[in-house]
Structure 1
Amino acid sequence: MWWDSWSDLARVVLVGTSAYAALVLLLRVSGKRTLAKLSAFDLVVTVALGSTLATILLSADVSWAEGVVALALLAGLQLAVSWATTWLPGGRSVVTARPSLVLRDGVPDTTAMRRQRLTLDEVRQAVRATGAGGFDQVAAVVLESDGTLSVVTRDQVGDGYALSGVPGWDAR
């Protein structure tokens, strides 16, 4: 079907514009954390927000008010989870993966890499991106909870405090 009516198009424009404005307002109110690098939970919320916005735009069965309440609910749940991960002991571990040490003192941990589905080529790429030419220059490579690889060279390790809490590093 190519065309229904002008009123359907007008509804999409009017409801879409106001729903979009409401979503932008909710994201601004909910803070930077909602738009930060995505954990698995953040990704789910982001996809749900997009799906909800699309439903508001395209389904005449969902009123603008219902849609905005759904968007507010998702933003509120995101705030609640971010609060819980900040203030409750162990709250972060429920929704966020712990970092994994995949290279220590120049030696790759193949067991950890296999467990994290990470290849040696990906670790090499991360090391090269820091400007290091070899693993012998690297104190640690950490697969962070957001999926990025952090490389700490031997020159940068200092007292190692930034690596505390990474399983496998504390055993030094």
Structure 2
Amino acid sequence: MFSDFNPFLEILITAPIGYVAIIILLRVSGKRTLAKWNSFDFVVTIALGSVLASILLSTKDAFGKGILAFALLILFQYVITWISVRSSIIQKLIKAEPAMLLYRGKMQQDIMKRERVAEGEILAALRSNGLSAIEDADAVILETDGSFSVIQNLNDSSASALKDVREFDRTRMARAN
């Protein structure tokens, strides 16, 4: 695009334009594009960063191609999330399921190993929610975005917010026996 320009001047010109372009594209694409990340979102975000770096550092005419790549990546992100909201099969392919790491004050060691979560991480989640004892938590859930939810008062019969936690029914049934 700027073949006769000094490479530093080219970066000084293309960087602000590329930055503004990605901001506009992200705003147009909606809040979901910038929501807490799952693995799909992480890949898209890394790809966007890579495209921006290519635009800024390429000596060839990468600007137009870079803006097109931004638009395509954001379009793919939009289409996949649009489909996943309407299809549970696609949603399961893209998003992980939440996992119950602690139930009624007991660490679920097999689930913790599978999810690669250390006991200290659960303890930190309890502390950050103002709890000083494991027994004060009825459940700790590892959410699909990697965050922890701490539930203090769990009513097994009306725990509708836990319907997508696969281990909830299994853990509850094992406790009942």
Q: Compute the TM-score of the two structures, normalised by the length of structure 2.
A: 0.88
Deviation at 1:81, TM superposition (A): 1.3
For the 8 Å contact 2:139–2:154, the answer to whether it is kept is no
Does residue 41 of the first structure (1) align with residue 40 of the second (2)? yes
Q: Deviations over 1:72-129 (max 9, x none)?
A: 0111111011112111122211111111111111111100001111111111111121
Residue 158 (structure 1) shift: 8.4
| Correspondence 1:137 to 2:136 | yes
Distance 2:140 2:25 in 1: 37
- Aligned residue for 1:150, secondary structure, equals strand
Would you say the 8 A contact 2:54–2:62 is kept in 1?
A: no
Measured on the aligned residues, the alpha-carbon RMSD in Å equals 1.9
Do 2:96 and 2:144's aligned partners in 1 also have CA atoms closer than 8 Å? yes
Distance 1:23 1:118 in 2: 35
**Structure 1 match to 2:175:** none
Cross-structure match for 2:120: 121
Could you tell me which residue of structure 2 aligns to residue 109 of structure 1? 108
For residues 46 and 157 of structure 1, the distance between their equivalents in structure 2, rounded to whole angstroms, comes to 38
Q: Which runs of 5+ in 1 are unaligned?
A: none
More helix by share: 2
**Number of residues paired by the alignment?**
168
- 3-state DSSP of counterpart to 2:168: coil
1:78-117 to 2 correspondences below 5 Å? 78-117=77-116
TM-score by length of structure 1 reads 0.90
Overall identity of the aligned pairs, in %? 36
Q: For 1:170, what is the secondary structure of its paired residue?
A: helix
SS in 2 for 1:133: coil
Measure how far apart 1:156 and its partner are: 8.1
